[in-house]
A and B are shown apart, each in its own frame.
Chain A
Amino acid sequence: MKKLLVILLLIVAVGCAKKYQKPSEEGVTSDETVTEDVITYKEVDEEVVDEIVVPEDETVLESTLSVEEQAKSVFKDVLFDYDKYDIRYDARPSLDAVAAFLNKNKDINIVVEGHCDERGTNEYNLALGEKRAKAAQNYLASRGISKGRIIAITFGEEKPFCTEQNESCWQNNRRAHFVIVKSRFQ
């Protein structure tokens, strides 16, 4: 019985001791440090965003491209219909891009080469190619580019882009092609 009493006394003593500690204020302050942990999570997020800022590096690279290299990506051939020299509706975006480029880079001039497919006769094709080059020149002028900055030249059928005998190749050859000729300040 004595033994039982001792155990009971011990249990009560332990139980009383726990009950005594619970209302202490220190336990409440330990909850607050948990919310501080949440704040450090935010800081980690911000660090990740910093690392993703790669596009800024790429734009630095782009600005080191020469005007000629930039032009190559901007200048697309303007295509024409068979035996025609009017600017097609679908050719306007590429001409507008050339105009925008020339407006942005005031120090460059361009050559517009007029080309034809091989089916016509040589002399007439030279005249036709010139009409195409001039049509492109006039369109650019209508977009505010001084005609003095655009030299029109024809090569007729003499410098084909491709030599296969089918409509897709002929279409690629019926073109106005843009080349940078000079930078005014270089």
Chain B
Amino acid sequence: MKKIFNIKRVKLTCIIFICSLSTLCSSLFTPVPAKIYIDITSPAIRQLPIRINTSGSPTSKEIESIVKKDLEFTGLFSFVDPDVPGAEITADIDVDISEGLKVILSVRDLIVNKEVLKKRYSASKIRPLAHSISNDIYYIVTGKKGIFRTKITFLVNTSAGRKELRMMDWDGSGAFRLVAKGLTSSHNWSQDGRFVLYSSERNRKWKIYILNLQRYREMVLLSSKGLNLVGGTSPDDLVSFSSSKDGSSEIYTVDIYGKGMKKLTKSFGIDVSPVFSPDGTKIAFVSDRGGTPQIYVMGAKGRGIRRLTFEGSYNTSPSWSANGKQIAYVGRYNGKNQIFMVKSDGTDVRQFTFSGNNESPSFSPDGQFLAFDSDRDGTHGVYIMNLYIEGQKRITPKKMKATSPEWSPYLK
């Protein structure tokens, strides 16, 4: 028995294609925009007519195409072709590939005929560079940080009983494998974006692992007996998780080094999926203490437990919005799983998906988008949804069985 279950301390040398995050330096800092062109907090959003000018070389066309796709999915821009009047703003993307990849971006306000941003970029890879340009245009226009450099971790079914953890850009491109060993399930990001935490079943043991994304080195965070499932992280580097080490599945917190474990719940049934509110003061989780799985909220130290969901008999997988005001979750409705959202005080339940089964909601760090998985087109795939215009699109390939997206925080 010892022989079968004795797991060596995991020292994972990379199963990973080392993705050299492109060294991207911007020589000019982005100024605070003087004028907000689009107020994304306003209920009636207007689209800003923008024209993007590039030289026409293959590299500049590729950059232009990525920037357009980025901005288009926000629903905040309408693109005006060159030589056609009507644009209020132009973005000139000047690409120089004579020595590495260098780009100068110039954004002009055509109404007052004034340059509002000029910035130089150099990078080794086109995609991160293009996403950085999108971030800067978005910031100039909305006054908000763009999410175009963020990543999404997700799971891929490679064979029966095996799931890999992978990572991709927010738009689904550049996917690569992070963890191939065993059956990986729950996973999440540290708030600084340096670590990915995940639960994996290997040799019939469910442990929580932590992967350093700079060195791609895996360590065991928690190896208690029973089922250990990572939930979320707090701004001060606490990890919430569920563990059945004392019998039934309860909610705990521990720091990112595996120290200072605290038990927060005590009930006979199932307590699972604990996620911190963005400010770290509250934890939403799932419990069947009322007879069916429902979402509950409590203080980060386990006090003041209250039930959040009352409609339906199966509500699981909570995810907090960036401002902490909303909780997205999966509710079973007419025999199918759908994405719902409820205010954190339990009022105003709204349904966001209607076709197929839709699960695993995860907010983008600006709260404007939601990643989730769906089988609406047959195979499960990862989708993203724009919460303002409610557009939804699949970002993983049709044949890949991809599930359980977790959106990263803002990344440098």
Contact = CB atoms under 8 A, between A and B. Distances in A.
Contacts, number: 81
B270 A155 contact: no
B289 to A, nearest CB: 13
A131 B288 CA distance: 12
A143 interface: no
Contact of B317 (A121, A151, A181): A121
A127 interface: yes
Contacts of B364: none
B227 A154 contact: yes
Contact of B161 (A111, A119, A159): A159
Interface in A44-85: 83
Nearest to B2: A182
Nearest to A148: B1
Interface in B354-406: 359-360, 403-404
Interface in A135-186: 151, 153-156, 158-160, 181-182
Nearest to A125: B316
Contacts of A124: 270, 272-273, 286, 293, 316-317
B309 interface: no
Contacts of B204: 111, 151, 153
B249 A122 contact: no
Please report whether the interface of chain B is mostly helix, strand, loop or mixed according to DSSP: strand
Nearest to B273: A123
B229 A127 contact: yes
Interface in A71-118: 83, 109, 111
Please report whether the interface of chain A is mostly helix, strand, loop or mixed according to DSSP: mixed
Contacts of A182: 1, 4
B242 interface: yes
A47 B206 CA distance: 64
B153 interface: no
B403 A122 contact: yes
Given A121-B317, A126-B185, A127-B242, A158 B163 contact: yes
Contacts of B299: none
A121 B227 CA distance: 16
Question: How extensive is the interface on chain A, given as a class?
Answer: 20 to 34
B121 interface: no
B229 A123 contact: yes
Interface in B154-180: 160-161, 163
A126 B163 contact: no
A155 B330 CA distance: 20
19 contacts: A83-B292, A83-B313, A119-B332, A122-B403, A122-B404, A123-B229, A123-B272, A123-B286, A124-B293, A126-B185, A126-B227, A127-B249, A130-B244, A131-B248, A131-B249, A151-B204, A155-B183, A156-B185, A159-B161
Interface of B: 1, 4, 160-161, 163, 183, 185-186, 201, 204, 206, 226-227, 229, 242, 244, 248-249, 269-270, 272-273, 286, 292-293, 313-314, 316-317, 330, 332, 335, 337, 359-360, 403-404
Interface of A: 83, 109, 111, 119-124, 126-128, 130-131, 151, 153-156, 158-160, 181-182
In order of increasing CB-CB distance, the 8 nearest A-B pairs are A159-B161, A127-B272, A127-B270, A121-B316, A124-B316, A130-B227, A153-B204, A127-B249
Given A120-B316, A153-B201, A158-B185, 6 more contacts: A83-B313, A126-B186, A126-B206, A127-B242, A127-B272, A181-B1
